[in-house]
Amino acid sequence: MDDDTPDEVFAELKSRPIGGWGVAQIAAGTGLAVYAMWAGILQPGFRKVPLKLQVPYIPASRAQVQNVMTLLRGRQGGLVDLGSGDGRIVLEAHRRGFSPAVGYELNPWLVRLARFYAWRAGHHGKVSYRREDLWKVCHLRVVLVTLACKFLSLLQEKLEAELPDDALVVAGRFPFPDWKPCIIEGHGVDRAWAYSVQLQATEPMHSSCTICIALFLYDTVSFINVIYVYMHVSILCCK
């Protein structure tokens, strides 16, 4: 009896039903792969980030990047992003003429990833990503912020006291708890808030805590959905 060719073997395997045990194996393998990525790449970096500064890392979507750029329309000059993650917003800001464009991120793995993306896009050396805190803000005109809710209340006092009156602060993911935005762009998890330092009112917005909790839960569900879609595609490919 002749040996089967690779094409025939592949066709036979493809025609077989995957079955419950196969689905369980795929699910287990996907779960292990996701855990390995988290434990080996992201978690070591987050251990080096103070707990109060940690925010669930979900890359900015195209919609969120576009919302931030819309809020920055008409602005120019230098820009910094606090909690820049993988640096995609800083990179897009540089493409739109902001210079210097600098990202501050405490997770070393995300800093390396941001620098790789900048190199791949041909902008290495034109944008800057720094693994450090930013405490001198008096010279800034545009500040982007993607940080945990509980840190924003402390940061807003510093920004309001030190930023010049013509500065603009843009928050992504979570709004400032006591500031009133002058413009809101987008919906849901992609929403961005623009704040004029000069126009800040003294009355707090108590509803922001609810918004922060809702967006945090939305981020968590989004991450779970990503895992589910990946598993579903893996199963379909094996059928």
Q: What number of other Cβ atoms are within 10 A of residue 185's Cβ? A: 20
Domains and CATH numbers, the chain: 62-211 (3.40.50.150)
Residues 69-80 have pLDDT tens digits of 999 999 989 999
Asked if omega into 204 is within 30° of 0 (cis), the reply is no
- Per-residue model confidence as pLDDT tens digits over 97-132: 999 999 999 889 999 999 999 999 999 889 999 988
pTM greater than the 0.75 cutoff: no
**CA distance readout (Å), 236 to 11, 16, 30, 116, 191:** 15, 13, 14, 32, 33
Mean pLDDT of 129-139: 79
Per-residue model confidence (pLDDT) at position 11: 61
